Structure 1
Amino acid sequence: MRLAICEENWLFASVVAAAFELQGHEVVTTTDDPRQLFDGTGRRPDLYVLDSSAVTELPHRGDRTPYVVLLTDPQDEQAWDAFDTGTADGVVSKTCSLRTLLEATESVANGHHIAAGRPAADRRKQQPVVDALTARELEVLHLVVQGYNTEQMARILGVSRHTIRTHVQQVLRKLGVHGRGKLARAAADAGLVDVQELIEGGRR
Protein backbone atom coordinates (compact mmCIF):
# COMPACT_ATOMS: atom_id res chain seq x y z
CA MET A 1 0.00 0.00 0.00
CA ARG A 2 1.29 3.48 -0.89
CA LEU A 3 0.73 6.16 1.75
CA ALA A 4 1.15 9.91 1.98
CA ILE A 5 1.52 11.33 5.49
CA CYS A 6 0.86 14.91 6.57
CA GLU A 7 1.35 15.78 10.24
CA GLU A 8 2.17 19.17 11.76
CA ASN A 9 4.59 17.55 14.24
CA TRP A 10 7.44 16.48 11.98
CA LEU A 11 8.99 14.10 14.53
CA PHE A 12 5.68 12.32 15.00
CA ALA A 13 5.23 12.14 11.22
CA SER A 14 8.63 10.48 10.90
CA VAL A 15 7.75 7.90 13.57
CA VAL A 16 4.46 7.11 11.85
CA ALA A 17 6.19 6.79 8.47
CA ALA A 18 8.81 4.43 9.90
CA ALA A 19 6.09 2.27 11.48
CA PHE A 20 4.31 1.86 8.15
CA GLU A 21 7.54 1.08 6.31
CA LEU A 22 8.39 -1.62 8.84
CA GLN A 23 5.07 -3.26 7.93
CA GLY A 24 6.06 -3.33 4.26
CA HIS A 25 4.08 -0.30 3.10
CA GLU A 26 5.54 2.39 0.84
CA VAL A 27 5.46 5.98 2.12
CA VAL A 28 5.58 8.18 -0.99
CA THR A 29 5.37 11.52 0.85
CA THR A 30 5.92 12.78 4.40
CA THR A 31 5.24 16.46 5.02
CA ASP A 32 3.86 18.99 7.48
CA ASP A 33 2.28 21.10 4.71
CA PRO A 34 -1.05 19.86 3.28
CA ARG A 35 -0.70 22.18 0.28
CA GLN A 36 2.44 20.31 -0.72
CA LEU A 37 0.60 17.03 -0.30
CA PHE A 38 -2.27 17.94 -2.62
CA ASP A 39 -0.44 19.94 -5.29
CA GLY A 40 -0.67 17.01 -7.71
CA THR A 41 3.05 16.78 -8.45
CA GLY A 42 3.87 13.68 -6.39
CA ARG A 43 2.94 10.03 -6.80
CA ARG A 44 -0.71 9.28 -6.13
CA PRO A 45 -1.02 7.30 -2.89
CA ASP A 46 -3.61 4.66 -2.06
CA LEU A 47 -4.30 6.36 1.27
CA TYR A 48 -3.66 9.63 3.07
CA VAL A 49 -2.80 9.74 6.78
CA LEU A 50 -3.47 13.33 7.79
CA ASP A 51 -3.39 15.54 10.81
CA SER A 52 -6.97 16.71 11.30
CA SER A 53 -5.91 20.31 10.59
CA ALA A 54 -5.41 19.28 6.96
CA VAL A 55 -9.02 18.22 6.44
CA THR A 56 -10.01 21.62 5.05
CA GLU A 57 -7.41 21.23 2.30
CA LEU A 58 -8.72 17.88 1.07
CA PRO A 59 -9.50 17.87 -2.66
CA HIS A 60 -12.78 16.44 -3.92
CA ARG A 61 -12.55 12.64 -4.23
CA GLY A 62 -15.09 11.63 -6.83
CA ASP A 63 -14.15 7.95 -6.74
CA ARG A 64 -13.60 7.89 -2.94
CA THR A 65 -9.87 7.24 -3.35
CA PRO A 66 -7.28 7.78 -2.12
CA TYR A 67 -8.77 6.84 1.22
CA VAL A 68 -8.34 9.29 4.10
CA VAL A 69 -7.46 8.54 7.72
CA LEU A 70 -7.29 11.49 10.11
CA LEU A 71 -5.03 11.68 13.17
CA THR A 72 -6.65 13.82 15.81
CA ASP A 73 -6.97 14.80 19.44
CA PRO A 74 -9.92 13.06 21.15
CA GLN A 75 -11.86 16.32 21.59
CA ASP A 76 -11.39 17.61 18.04
CA GLU A 77 -15.01 17.73 16.90
CA GLN A 78 -14.05 18.77 13.37
CA ALA A 79 -12.31 15.44 12.80
CA TRP A 80 -15.19 13.33 14.11
CA ASP A 81 -17.61 15.43 12.05
CA ALA A 82 -15.49 14.71 8.97
CA PHE A 83 -15.90 11.00 9.69
CA ASP A 84 -19.64 11.30 10.28
CA THR A 85 -20.17 13.18 7.01
CA GLY A 86 -17.96 10.85 4.97
CA THR A 87 -15.17 13.36 4.30
CA ALA A 88 -12.79 10.99 6.07
CA ASP A 89 -12.90 7.20 5.88
CA GLY A 90 -11.24 6.74 9.25
CA VAL A 91 -10.26 8.72 12.33
CA VAL A 92 -7.68 7.63 14.90
CA SER A 93 -7.07 9.49 18.13
CA LYS A 94 -3.44 10.37 18.82
CA THR A 95 -3.90 8.77 22.22
CA CYS A 96 -4.10 5.36 20.49
CA SER A 97 -1.08 3.14 19.92
CA LEU A 98 0.79 2.91 16.64
CA ARG A 99 -0.51 -0.65 16.35
CA THR A 100 -4.07 0.69 16.47
CA LEU A 101 -3.21 3.22 13.76
CA LEU A 102 -1.68 0.53 11.56
CA GLU A 103 -4.64 -1.80 11.97
CA ALA A 104 -7.19 0.96 11.42
CA THR A 105 -5.43 2.16 8.28
CA GLU A 106 -5.25 -1.33 6.80
CA SER A 107 -8.93 -1.81 7.59
CA VAL A 108 -9.83 1.44 5.82
CA ALA A 109 -7.79 0.34 2.80
CA ASN A 110 -10.02 -2.74 2.69
CA GLY A 111 -13.12 -0.59 2.45
CA HIS A 112 -14.13 -0.29 6.11
CA HIS A 113 -14.93 2.87 8.09
CA ILE A 114 -13.07 3.05 11.39
CA ALA A 115 -13.21 5.46 14.33
CA ALA A 116 -10.61 4.56 16.96
CA GLY A 117 -10.35 6.40 20.26
CA ARG A 118 -13.60 8.33 19.94
CA PRO A 119 -14.63 9.71 23.35
CA ALA A 120 -17.35 7.64 25.00
CA ALA A 121 -19.28 10.84 25.71
CA ASP A 122 -20.18 11.03 22.01
CA ARG A 123 -22.17 7.83 22.31
CA ARG A 124 -23.84 8.94 25.52
CA LYS A 125 -25.01 12.09 23.78
CA GLN A 126 -26.86 9.96 21.23
CA GLN A 127 -28.91 8.08 23.79
CA PRO A 128 -31.74 10.63 24.24
CA VAL A 129 -32.11 10.64 20.45
CA VAL A 130 -32.51 6.86 20.42
CA ASP A 131 -35.39 7.07 22.88
CA ALA A 132 -37.21 9.46 20.53
CA LEU A 133 -37.44 7.00 17.63
CA THR A 134 -40.94 5.66 17.03
CA ALA A 135 -41.70 2.02 16.29
CA ARG A 136 -42.30 2.81 12.62
CA GLU A 137 -39.07 4.79 12.41
CA LEU A 138 -37.23 1.79 13.83
CA GLU A 139 -38.80 -0.40 11.11
CA VAL A 140 -37.63 2.05 8.46
CA LEU A 141 -34.16 2.20 10.01
CA HIS A 142 -33.84 -1.59 9.86
CA LEU A 143 -34.90 -1.64 6.21
CA VAL A 144 -32.44 1.11 5.29
CA VAL A 145 -29.59 -0.82 6.92
CA GLN A 146 -30.62 -3.92 4.96
CA GLY A 147 -30.29 -1.96 1.71
CA TYR A 148 -33.90 -1.47 0.62
CA ASN A 149 -34.73 1.60 -1.46
CA THR A 150 -37.65 3.96 -0.94
CA GLU A 151 -40.03 2.20 -3.32
CA GLN A 152 -39.31 -1.23 -1.82
CA MET A 153 -39.79 0.02 1.73
CA ALA A 154 -43.09 1.63 0.78
CA ARG A 155 -44.30 -1.69 -0.63
CA ILE A 156 -43.15 -3.69 2.39
CA LEU A 157 -44.74 -1.33 4.92
CA GLY A 158 -47.83 -0.55 2.83
CA VAL A 159 -47.37 3.21 2.82
CA SER A 160 -46.55 5.86 0.22
CA ARG A 161 -43.04 6.74 -0.91
CA HIS A 162 -43.58 10.22 0.48
CA THR A 163 -44.29 8.72 3.91
CA ILE A 164 -41.12 6.62 3.71
CA ARG A 165 -39.03 9.65 2.77
CA THR A 166 -40.50 11.54 5.73
CA HIS A 167 -39.63 8.70 8.10
CA VAL A 168 -36.09 8.48 6.72
CA GLN A 169 -35.56 12.21 7.18
CA GLN A 170 -36.81 11.95 10.76
CA VAL A 171 -34.44 9.06 11.51
CA LEU A 172 -31.51 10.95 9.98
CA ARG A 173 -32.35 14.01 12.05
CA LYS A 174 -32.79 12.12 15.31
CA LEU A 175 -29.56 10.15 14.90
CA GLY A 176 -27.71 13.30 13.87
CA VAL A 177 -26.30 12.02 10.59
CA HIS A 178 -26.42 13.18 6.98
CA GLY A 179 -27.13 10.54 4.35
CA ARG A 180 -28.40 6.98 4.53
CA GLY A 181 -24.87 5.62 4.28
CA LYS A 182 -24.13 6.82 7.82
CA LEU A 183 -27.23 5.36 9.45
CA ALA A 184 -25.87 1.85 9.99
CA ARG A 185 -22.87 2.99 12.03
CA ALA A 186 -24.88 5.52 14.04
CA ALA A 187 -27.58 2.94 14.79
CA ALA A 188 -24.99 0.33 15.79
CA ASP A 189 -23.18 2.84 18.04
CA ALA A 190 -26.49 3.58 19.76
CA GLY A 191 -27.30 -0.12 20.21
CA LEU A 192 -30.38 0.09 17.98
CA VAL A 193 -29.39 -2.62 15.53
CA ASP A 194 -27.08 -5.56 15.10
CA VAL A 195 -25.82 -4.48 11.69
CA GLN A 196 -24.17 -7.78 10.81
CA GLU A 197 -27.32 -9.74 11.64
CA LEU A 198 -29.47 -7.40 9.57
CA ILE A 199 -27.14 -7.54 6.59
CA GLU A 200 -26.92 -11.33 6.67
CA GLY A 201 -30.70 -11.58 6.91
CA GLY A 202 -31.32 -8.91 4.29
CA ARG A 203 -30.64 -8.51 0.61
CA ARG A 204 -26.88 -7.99 0.62
Structure 2
Amino acid sequence: MRVAICAEQWLFASVLAAAFDGQGHEVVIATDDPRQLPGMAGRLDVDVCVLDAPPAAVESLFGRGSRPFVVLLADAHDEAAWDAYDRGLADGIVSKACDLRTVSWVVQSVAHGNRIAEGRPTQDRRRTQAADLLTTRELEVLRLVVRGLSTEEMANELGVSRHTVRTHVQQVLRKLGVHGRGKIAGAAAAAGLGEVRDLLTGGHP
Protein backbone atom coordinates (compact mmCIF):
# COMPACT_ATOMS: atom_id res chain seq x y z
CA MET A 1 0.00 0.00 0.00
CA ARG A 2 1.32 3.43 -0.99
CA VAL A 3 0.70 6.02 1.73
CA ALA A 4 1.03 9.81 1.89
CA ILE A 5 1.21 11.37 5.36
CA CYS A 6 0.59 14.97 6.33
CA ALA A 7 0.58 16.21 9.92
CA GLU A 8 0.68 19.73 11.30
CA GLN A 9 3.70 18.75 13.41
CA TRP A 10 6.65 17.33 11.49
CA LEU A 11 7.64 15.07 14.40
CA PHE A 12 4.19 13.44 14.34
CA ALA A 13 4.42 12.97 10.56
CA SER A 14 7.81 11.29 10.89
CA VAL A 15 6.56 8.96 13.64
CA LEU A 16 3.61 7.90 11.50
CA ALA A 17 5.88 7.40 8.49
CA ALA A 18 8.23 5.18 10.49
CA ALA A 19 5.29 3.14 11.80
CA PHE A 20 3.81 2.51 8.34
CA ASP A 21 7.25 1.80 6.88
CA GLY A 22 7.87 -0.74 9.64
CA GLN A 23 4.66 -2.54 8.67
CA GLY A 24 5.83 -2.96 5.10
CA HIS A 25 3.90 -0.11 3.50
CA GLU A 26 5.52 2.35 1.12
CA VAL A 27 5.45 5.90 2.46
CA VAL A 28 5.82 7.98 -0.70
CA ILE A 29 5.66 11.35 1.07
CA ALA A 30 5.61 12.57 4.67
CA THR A 31 5.16 16.29 5.15
CA ASP A 32 3.84 19.00 7.46
CA ASP A 33 2.73 21.12 4.47
CA PRO A 34 -0.66 20.07 3.00
CA ARG A 35 0.00 22.19 -0.09
CA GLN A 36 2.42 19.51 -1.27
CA LEU A 37 -0.23 16.82 -1.46
CA PRO A 38 -2.55 17.56 -4.42
CA GLY A 39 0.00 17.26 -7.20
CA MET A 40 2.11 14.59 -5.55
CA ALA A 41 -0.80 12.33 -4.60
CA GLY A 42 -1.73 11.84 -8.24
CA ARG A 43 1.79 11.81 -9.64
CA LEU A 44 3.05 9.27 -7.08
CA ASP A 45 -0.01 7.02 -7.37
CA VAL A 46 -0.94 7.23 -3.69
CA ASP A 47 -3.51 4.76 -2.33
CA VAL A 48 -4.31 6.51 0.97
CA CYS A 49 -3.60 9.97 2.38
CA VAL A 50 -3.39 10.08 6.18
CA LEU A 51 -4.06 13.63 7.35
CA ASP A 52 -3.70 15.38 10.66
CA ALA A 53 -4.93 18.68 9.23
CA PRO A 54 -8.02 20.92 9.40
CA PRO A 55 -10.98 19.46 7.47
CA ALA A 56 -11.04 22.58 5.30
CA ALA A 57 -7.65 21.52 3.99
CA VAL A 58 -9.11 18.22 2.81
CA GLU A 59 -11.91 19.98 0.95
CA SER A 60 -9.60 22.52 -0.67
CA LEU A 61 -6.95 19.95 -1.56
CA PHE A 62 -9.04 17.16 -2.95
CA GLY A 63 -12.63 18.40 -3.23
CA ARG A 64 -15.15 15.70 -4.03
CA GLY A 65 -13.69 14.54 -7.33
CA SER A 66 -11.13 11.88 -8.13
CA ARG A 67 -8.60 11.52 -5.31
CA PRO A 68 -6.88 8.93 -3.12
CA PHE A 69 -8.70 7.57 -0.10
CA VAL A 70 -8.44 10.01 2.83
CA VAL A 71 -8.16 9.10 6.52
CA LEU A 72 -8.34 11.90 9.09
CA LEU A 73 -6.65 11.80 12.47
CA ALA A 74 -8.77 13.77 14.93
CA ASP A 75 -8.84 14.89 18.53
CA ALA A 76 -11.87 13.55 20.34
CA HIS A 77 -13.32 17.05 20.79
CA ASP A 78 -12.70 18.19 17.20
CA GLU A 79 -16.31 18.40 15.99
CA ALA A 80 -15.24 19.81 12.62
CA ALA A 81 -13.19 16.72 11.82
CA TRP A 82 -15.92 14.23 12.76
CA ASP A 83 -18.44 16.32 10.84
CA ALA A 84 -16.15 16.26 7.79
CA TYR A 85 -16.23 12.47 7.89
CA ASP A 86 -20.02 12.49 8.23
CA ARG A 87 -20.26 14.76 5.17
CA GLY A 88 -18.14 12.41 3.09
CA LEU A 89 -15.03 14.59 2.87
CA ALA A 90 -12.97 11.72 4.28
CA ASP A 91 -13.28 7.96 3.86
CA GLY A 92 -12.10 7.18 7.36
CA ILE A 93 -11.35 8.89 10.65
CA VAL A 94 -9.58 7.70 13.78
CA SER A 95 -9.14 9.33 17.16
CA LYS A 96 -5.62 10.33 18.10
CA ALA A 97 -6.26 8.56 21.39
CA CYS A 98 -6.07 5.24 19.53
CA ASP A 99 -2.77 3.38 19.25
CA LEU A 100 -0.74 3.11 16.04
CA ARG A 101 -1.96 -0.43 15.43
CA THR A 102 -5.55 0.85 15.30
CA VAL A 103 -4.56 3.72 13.00
CA SER A 104 -2.88 1.22 10.67
CA TRP A 105 -5.93 -1.06 10.71
CA VAL A 106 -8.24 1.84 9.81
CA VAL A 107 -5.97 2.94 6.95
CA GLN A 108 -5.75 -0.58 5.53
CA SER A 109 -9.52 -1.08 5.82
CA VAL A 110 -10.19 2.21 4.04
CA ALA A 111 -7.74 1.19 1.31
CA HIS A 112 -9.98 -1.85 0.72
CA GLY A 113 -13.01 0.38 0.20
CA ASN A 114 -14.50 0.50 3.69
CA ARG A 115 -15.72 3.62 5.50
CA ILE A 116 -14.66 3.57 9.14
CA ALA A 117 -14.87 5.91 12.14
CA GLU A 118 -12.81 4.53 15.02
CA GLY A 119 -12.63 5.90 18.55
CA ARG A 120 -15.51 8.31 18.09
CA PRO A 121 -16.64 9.62 21.50
CA THR A 122 -20.27 10.08 22.39
CA GLN A 123 -21.72 13.56 21.99
CA ASP A 124 -21.86 14.14 25.74
CA ARG A 125 -18.25 13.03 26.16
CA ARG A 126 -17.06 15.35 23.36
CA ARG A 127 -18.82 18.27 25.03
CA THR A 128 -17.25 17.53 28.41
CA GLN A 129 -13.78 17.24 26.89
CA ALA A 130 -14.07 20.54 25.03
CA ALA A 131 -15.16 22.38 28.17
CA ASP A 132 -12.46 20.78 30.33
CA LEU A 133 -9.68 21.67 27.88
CA LEU A 134 -10.26 25.43 28.01
CA THR A 135 -7.96 27.31 30.39
CA THR A 136 -9.23 30.02 32.72
CA ARG A 137 -7.90 32.75 30.42
CA GLU A 138 -9.43 31.06 27.36
CA LEU A 139 -12.79 30.99 29.14
CA GLU A 140 -12.44 34.74 29.79
CA VAL A 141 -11.69 35.33 26.11
CA LEU A 142 -14.60 33.11 25.12
CA ARG A 143 -17.04 35.17 27.18
CA LEU A 144 -15.74 38.40 25.65
CA VAL A 145 -16.09 36.99 22.12
CA VAL A 146 -19.67 35.99 22.84
CA ARG A 147 -20.34 39.52 24.09
CA GLY A 148 -19.16 40.80 20.70
CA LEU A 149 -16.01 42.63 21.77
CA SER A 150 -13.38 43.35 19.13
CA THR A 151 -9.79 42.17 19.45
CA GLU A 152 -8.69 45.60 20.63
CA GLU A 153 -11.52 45.83 23.16
CA MET A 154 -10.64 42.40 24.55
CA ALA A 155 -6.98 43.39 24.81
CA ASN A 156 -7.95 46.47 26.84
CA GLU A 157 -10.33 44.47 29.02
CA LEU A 158 -7.74 41.80 29.81
CA GLY A 159 -4.69 44.06 29.89
CA VAL A 160 -2.81 42.09 27.26
CA SER A 161 -1.64 42.67 23.68
CA ARG A 162 -3.84 42.15 20.62
CA HIS A 163 -1.47 39.40 19.51
CA THR A 164 -2.07 37.55 22.78
CA VAL A 165 -5.83 37.90 22.34
CA ARG A 166 -5.65 36.53 18.80
CA THR A 167 -3.63 33.58 20.06
CA HIS A 168 -6.22 32.81 22.75
CA VAL A 169 -9.07 33.13 20.24
CA GLN A 170 -7.36 30.66 17.90
CA GLN A 171 -6.92 28.21 20.77
CA VAL A 172 -10.60 28.51 21.69
CA LEU A 173 -11.60 27.91 18.06
CA ARG A 174 -9.37 24.86 17.84
CA LYS A 175 -10.55 23.33 21.11
CA LEU A 176 -14.23 23.86 20.30
CA GLY A 177 -13.65 22.47 16.81
CA VAL A 178 -15.06 25.43 14.88
CA HIS A 179 -13.73 27.92 12.34
CA GLY A 180 -14.60 31.58 12.77
CA ARG A 181 -15.77 33.66 15.72
CA GLY A 182 -19.34 33.58 14.50
CA LYS A 183 -19.60 29.89 15.45
CA ILE A 184 -17.99 30.14 18.89
CA ALA A 185 -21.16 31.00 20.81
CA GLY A 186 -23.15 28.05 19.50
CA ALA A 187 -20.26 25.64 20.03
CA ALA A 188 -19.71 26.90 23.58
CA ALA A 189 -23.36 26.48 24.46
CA ALA A 190 -23.37 22.99 22.95
CA ALA A 191 -20.26 22.18 25.02
CA GLY A 192 -22.24 22.82 28.19
CA LEU A 193 -20.48 26.02 29.21
CA GLY A 194 -23.26 27.34 31.40
CA GLU A 195 -22.14 30.95 31.77
CA VAL A 196 -21.79 31.33 28.01
CA ARG A 197 -25.17 29.74 27.49
CA ASP A 198 -26.61 32.39 29.83
CA LEU A 199 -25.19 35.09 27.57
CA LEU A 200 -26.92 33.56 24.56
CA THR A 201 -30.27 33.50 26.32
CA GLY A 202 -30.06 37.02 27.68
CA GLY A 203 -28.56 36.26 31.08
CA HIS A 204 -26.01 38.42 32.80
CA PRO A 205 -22.45 38.48 31.37
What TM-score comes out, normalization by structure 1 length?
0.56
Residue 72 (str. 1) matches residue 74 (str. 2)? yes
In 2, distance between residues paired with 1:113 and 1:3?
17
Give the match for residue 46 of structure 1.
Answer: 47
How far does residue 116 in structure 1 lie from its aligned partner after superposition?
A: 1.1
Tell me how far 1:52 sits from its aligned partner: 3.2
In 2, the alpha carbon distance for the partners of 1:28 and 1:122 equals: 39
Contact 1:19 1:98 survives alignment (8 Å): yes
1:108 Cα shift?
A: 0.5
Structure 2 residue 121 is the aligned partner of structure 1 residue 119: yes
- In the alignment, is the contact (CA less than 8 A) between 2:71 and 2:92 conserved in 1? yes
In 2 relative to 1, CA 39–124 (structure 1 residues): closer, same or farther, beyond 3 Å?
A: closer
Could you list the runs of 5+ residues in structure 2 that have no partner in the other structure? 128-205
Aligned residues of 1:45 and 1:66 also touching (Cα < 8 A): yes
**Structure 1 unaligned blocks of 5 or more:** 126-204
Q: Where does residue 176 of structure 2 map in the other structure? A: none
Q: Rate the CA distance shift 1:45–1:122 in 2: closer, same or farther, 3 A.
A: farther
Amino acid aligned to 2:61: L
- After superposition, the C-alpha distances for 1:72-113 in whole angstroms (9 at most, x for unaligned) are 111111111111011100011111100110001111011111
Q: Deviations over 1:127-148 (max 9, x none)?
A: xxxxxxxxxxxxxxxxxxxxxx
State the shift of 1:45 in Å: 0.6
Alignment of 1:85-164 (within 5 A): 85-121=87-123
Call closer, same or farther: CA 1:73–1:56 in 2, change over 3 Å: same
**In structure 2, what is the Cα distance between the partners aligned to 1:22 and 1:87?**
28
Are 1:60 and 2:63 an aligned pair?
yes
What secondary structure sits across from 1:19 in the alignment?
helix
TM-score (norm 2): 0.55
What secondary structure sits across from 2:39 in the alignment? coil
Aligned to 1:18: 18
Q: Which residue is 1:141 aligned to?
A: none
Q: 1:81, 1:110 → 2: CA distance?
A: 22
The residue aligned with 1:8 is 8
After superposition, residues 173-184 of structure 1 pair within 5 angstroms as none
Q: Runs of at least 4 residues of structure 1 off by over 6 A?
A: 122-125
Q: 1:123 to 1:27 in 2, by over 3 A?
A: same
Compute the displacement of 1:23 (Å): 1.1
- Cα pair distance change 1:61/1:24, threshold 3 Å: farther
Matched residue pairs, number? 124
Q: Structure 2: which amino acid aligns with 1:52?
A: A
Q: Distance in 1 between matches of 2:125 and 2:116?
A: 15
Deviates more, 1:25-34 or 1:52-61: 52-61
* Percent identity of paired positions between Structure 1 and Structure 2: 60
Report the secondary structure of 1:38's partner residue: helix
Distance 1:122 1:47, change over 3 A: farther
Q: Secondary structure at the match of 1:39?
A: helix
CA 1:123–1:12: 2 relative to 1, 3 Å: closer
Q: What one-letter code is carried by the residue in structure 1 that aligns with 2:52?
A: D
